[in-house]
Amino acid sequence: MITTPIKDNGIPMNVLLTGPFGTIGTRVLNELLARQHRVTCFDLDNKTNRKIAASYGERIRMLWGDITDAASVNTAVTGQDAVIHLAAIIPPLSEEKPTLAEKVNVQGTKLVIDAIAKQNKMPLLVFPSSISVHGFSNKRQPPCKIDMPLEAKDNYAGHKITCENLLRTSNIPWVIVRIGACVDALNDKIGDRAAMMRHMFSLHPDTRIEYLHPHDAATAMANAIEKPEAVGKTLFLGSGKNSQTSWLEFVNITPRAMGLRDLSSDDFGIEPYYTDWMDTAESQQLLQFQQLGMEAYKRELAHQWRYKRFLILPFRWLIRRYMLSFSPAHKK
């Protein structure tokens, strides 16, 4: 393993952040800026991204480009001390458009690795992987450990496994972080709401899940570029034992915040899912990131609904009926 001159002495670093305007990306960006790092953001040029980028003004260096374009990636990587590579296509789009997803997730990551390898002083690459690489680990005794077998159950997990292997066979410095279930109560952007609801109700209610607060994720990645001892490590990111629960309990956080009755286990299906409780002892020791967790998520969600819950009071029965319309188990 080739090491890299990571600056852990408080001196600002040049950091490239790909995919900076997603759920985790904006949290990571804000954390890096709070630490006075010089951040280059790399993303697709579209109206939504331009609006977000404009809100940061001159605090960031913005490069518009495509992660699948080698020339753009080489330009972005040049002169950086670290790269946090968040650009990716995630489910359900990764399953609906497998060719595009493979191009972005695998070929794009390979271009980043190749660009780093060309540098005289190679920057550290922090690569966010996923607990999904372990497949349906709920059939095993918890917690899930980092050395447990890898088993892709969808395209996205397969891409992450491929990229992890690309890193391990490269000569660049890297840190791999396998991310747990990360949802931001302060970000209500939802793509296909109907697809999300159908998926939510299809899963077994007893499925183990460990929540990762996006602030904790951002803290972990920002700390990773400042900790030389993290280089070459593969680490789980979850918010710890107090954030370990069941799928049913996690889903019911939202109805409770809205002032609705809890959903029942009978409303859910039997499908397995690749979330689980994780052994985060080593990652917490190295990265010291478990600060907020699921209780903070509950408070944030309740705060988001503090007024709206009274406005929807007369329509609670209708909202609940709408939610349960996506439950095949309830329809039976």
* Percentage of the chain lying above the pLDDT 90 cut: 88
Residue 94 confidence (pLDDT): 92
> Tens of pLDDT along 228-246?
999 999 999 999 999 999 9
Task: Work out the mean pLDDT of the chain and round it to a whole number.
Answer: 94
Distance separating alpha carbons of residues 111 and 116, to the nearest angstrom: 9
Which whole number is the average pLDDT over 87-108? Answer: 95
CA distances from 54 to 45, 72, 123, 297 (A): 12, 21, 27, 28
Residue 304 confidence (pLDDT): 94
Task: Give the confidence band of 2 by pLDDT, cuts at 50, 70, 90.
Answer: very low
Residue 249 confidence (pLDDT): 98
> Tens of pLDDT along 173-182?
999 999 999 9
> Tens of pLDDT along 54-66?
999 999 999 999 9
Residue 325 confidence (pLDDT): 93
Q: Is the pLDDT of residue 53 over 90?
A: yes
Between 23-34 and 47-56, two packed helices, what is the crossing angle to 10 degrees? Answer: 20
Residue ranges of domains in the chain = 14-190+211-241
For the domain made up of 14-190+211-241, the CATH class stated in words is: alpha beta
Q: Is the pLDDT of residue 51 over 70?
A: yes
Residue 1 confidence (pLDDT): 36
Distance separating alpha carbons of residues 220 and 214, to the nearest angstrom: 10
Q: Which of 29, 44, 153 is nearest to 91 (CA)?
A: 153
> Tens of pLDDT along 303-332?
999 999 999 999 999 999 999 999 987 765
Task: Give the confidence band of 193 by pLDDT, cuts at 50, 70, 90.
Answer: confident
